[in-house]
Amino acid sequence: GDWSSPGLAAPVDDESPRFFKTPDGVKIQELALGRGDQAAKPGDLVVLDYVLRRANGYFIYATVEGVSFQPRDVPIGPLEITLGSKDVIPGLERVLEGMKPGGRRRALIPPELGYAADPDNAQPQPPTFATRRQLLNHAKEPLLFEVQLLKI
């Protein structure tokens, strides 16, 4: 049919990414649901990879290789944390809760659930001076995290 009429809704793909918002304001896009019956919950030790960007998409840091603009000398590797232990910023905890291994989410984390309160000590911190400075310069802005849960 002709979908050019503003009165008609375009067909919706059931496989398209889902969006939801946590009560405290983290906007999350479900990219891949993951597998298995176990979903991450407080107290679980989880291993994850992430890409950190500014809200406009400008790259800051990634724990994985092959992401644009990351110098080869920047240390990489998965992050291991215990959910609910305040190991990382509250917004990242919200993103991880309910994820299954192999799951991927993209999330916009507001500054008050990110690095705004304590930008020098809030975790995770990028490993180099240049990447940390980039984060500090933008700690009072919303930040975009792309997260893949590797294992629980």
What's the CA dihedral at 137, 139, 142, 145 to 10 degrees?
Answer: 100
pLDDT value at residue 16: 61
Q: Is 129 left (phi over 0), alpha (psi -120 to 50) or beta?
A: alpha
Global confidence as pTM: 0.84
Record the tokens describing residue 114, joined without a space: 């990110």
In this structure, which CATH number among 3.30.70.520, 3.20.20.10, 2.40.70.10, 3.10.50.40 belongs to the domain 18-151?
3.10.50.40
Q: What b/e sequence results for 75-107 when a residue is b if at least 16 CB atoms lie within 10 Å of its CB, and e otherwise?
A: eeeebebebeeebbbbbbbbbbbebbbebbbbb
Record the tokens describing residue 95, joined without a space: 């993103």
CA gap 46, 38 in Å, rounded: 12
pLDDT value at residue 14: 57
Record the tokens describing residue 24, joined without a space: 């405290």
pLDDT value at residue 70: 65
Give every residue of the chain whose pLDDT is below 50, as ranges.
none
